[in-house]
Structure 1
Amino acid sequence: MLYDITRTLTPRSAVFPGDTPVSITPTLQRRAGDSCNVTAITMSAHAGTHVDAPRHYSDDGAGIDAVPLDVLIGPARVVTLEAADAITIADLQNVIGDLLHAIRAAPRLLIRTRASHIPDDVWDDTFAHVDPQAADWLGANGLRLIGTDAPSVDPAASRALPAHRAFLRHGIIIIENLRLQGVPDGEYELLALPLKIAGGDAGPARVVLRRCAP
C-alpha cells in the first residue's frame, strides 16, 4: 500500500511569514486558442513538502542536487507525538521503546505531530520542534534522515536554528511539511525525491511511503 504524504501546492498554501507565496499562473491556454496548456510557477523552495539541503544553513554545505539518493530512499519509521512541544529522546523512547534497535532497522524517522491536522492554507507557529540534544543523540546513533509534518525542526521564531545545525553536524537530511494524517505508526519504505536544483538550499518533493510487509 502507498501513502502519499505530500502537501498539495496551491496559491493558498501557507508559507513562513515573509517567504515567497506560491503563484501558479497559466501562460498558454488551449481554451484561449493556444496549442497547449503551460503554467508558470513562482514559489519558495521551502513551500509545501520539501527536503532541506545542507546549503540551507551552511554556505559551505551541499546543494539539494548533491544529496545522495540512498539517503532519500529506504526503510523509515513513522511515530506519533501529538502532545509534544519540544520533541525529546524520552518522548521517542516512550513511543518506540528500543530506540537504538529501531534506528538500526530503519534509519529514517518521520514524526507525526498535531501539525498534520492543520489545513494546508493555515499558518500556525505553535508547531512542535525537535530538542537540539535529541538531534545530537539521534545523529550520534546512526539516524540518516528526519522528517516532520511541521514547517521546521526549530521553533518558528528561532534564528540560531540549533536543531537544524545539530542535524547538519551529523549529516542528517531534513524533510519538512509532511502530511502524515491517516498514516499508521510503523515501518515503511520511504521515497522522497526533491527537484534537482543546482546548488539549491532546498527542493520541493513528492514524498511517498510504501507499507512494509508484516
Structure 2
Amino acid sequence: MVWTAKNAAELGIDPDRLAVAGISAGGGLAAATVLLARDRGGPSLAFQMLICPMLDDRNTTPSSHEFAEAVVWNRAANLFGWAALLGDDAGTDGVSPYAAPARATDLSGLPPAYIDVGELEVFRDECGWCGPASPPSSTCIRGLPRLRHDAARHGDQPPGRRRAGGRAAPGPAPLTSGRSRTSWRARCARRRPAGSARGTAPG
C-alpha cells in the first residue's frame, strides 16, 4: 500500500482514492492495514470494504459458539486459524489490534467502511450484526439473512428474507437491503465520516 501510494502518479492512480478490501482472513488484514495506516500517519485511505471479515481472536461472541457445526467455517476451524497466527497468545490480553482488529478501542479517524456478513456464520456478531456499541457513523453494515460464510461467492446477489421463525439477533437490526453489494459499497464510499445515522444509506 505504501509503495502504491508513492507510485500513484506513475500507475495512473488518484492517491486520494486509495482503498483496501478483503474477504474472510483477508478482511481482517484489510481492517488491520487501515488501523496501521491511521496510526502511522498514512498513506491516506478513502474506503475499506470488509467481506465476512475475521476480526476477533477471543471467540467469545454468541455466534462464535453457535456455529460449532457450521458447514463452511466452524468454531473449531476458527480457533485453529487464530492459533496458527498467534500461537498461545490467541485469546489473551496481549494481542495487538493490528493482528485482531476487533481489539481496537479507538475507531476514530478511519475511512468509511462497508462490511457484510452472513447471518449463519461464526463471524456474524464480531462483524457488527448486533453492534459494536458505538460504530462510526461512516460504517455501513449489510447483514445477509440465511447466508453462511461462503456468501462472499454470491455477494452481488440481493440477500433473501430472514426465514420465518428464524432466530432474531438481539440489539439493533442489521442494515439489510435488496440492493447488491456493488450498490451498497458505492453508496457507503460516499458517506462522510460523521453526520449519517447507522442503518441508513446516504441520499
TM-score range, shorter chain: under 0.3
Asked which structure has the greater CA Rg, the reply is: 1
Query: Normalized against structure 2, the TM-score is what?
Result: 0.27
| Bigger strand share | 1
Query: Normalized against structure 1, the TM-score is what?
Result: 0.26
Structure ranking higher on relative contact order (CA contacts 8 Å, 6+ apart): 1
| Bigger helix share | 2
